[in-house]
């Protein structure tokens, strides 16, 4: 029912200015890379953007070429049915396995049957195994 895999996440932190996210999206799109999930927020004067993409190496190289400071990290990407209770199910499995979620973002359109959840945790490898074993 759900499928968890390890994925790479691109993290960019820079001065929050109008158009920064637009520039990042343009840079990635011009390389033919699709954004699978994105999260962005402001911390003080800085903007923090997290991206998962279908070609992390090409996207990161293109962003670095545009002078963005890029950090790469490992996350868990979970494809789940888009129905009530799935986040509850996932987080209960992680809680019971004593896995701490550090950050999480998710997306789905109301007419989709699947959604994607991306997160980082205290033990991503264990989280992936726990979720795949607890899938139903």
The reported pTM is: 0.89
Secondary element (H or E) of residue 120: strand 114-121
Mean pLDDT within 9-28: 96
pLDDT in tens, 21-77: 999 999 999 999 999 999 999 999 999 999 999 999 999 999 999 999 999 999 999
- What is the reported pLDDT for 136? 57
pLDDT: which is higher, 108 or 74: 74
- What is the reported pLDDT for 110? 83
State phi, psi for 56 to the nearest 5 degrees: -60, -40
Domains and CATH numbers, the chain: 8-74 (3.30.2130.10), 75-133 (3.30.2130.10)
- What is the reported pLDDT for 74? 96
- What is the reported pLDDT for 101? 97
């Amino acid at each position: 029912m759900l499928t968890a895999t390890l994925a790479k996440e691109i993290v960019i932190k820079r001065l929050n200015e109008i158009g920064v996210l637009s520039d990042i999206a343009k840079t990635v799109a011009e390389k033919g890379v699709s954004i699978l999930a994105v999260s962005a927020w402001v911390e003080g004067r800085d903007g923090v953007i997290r991206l998962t993409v279908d070609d992390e190496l090409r996207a990161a190289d293109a962003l670095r070429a545009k002078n963005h400071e890029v950090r790469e990290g490992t996350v868990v990407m979970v494809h789940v049915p888009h129905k009530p209770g799935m986040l509850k199910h996932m987080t209960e499995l992680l809680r019971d396995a004593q896995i701490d979620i550090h950050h999480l973002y998710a997306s789905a359109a109301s007419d989709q049957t699947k959604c994607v959840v991306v997160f980082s945790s205290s033990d991503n490898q264990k989280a992936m195994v726990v979720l795949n074993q607890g899938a139903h």
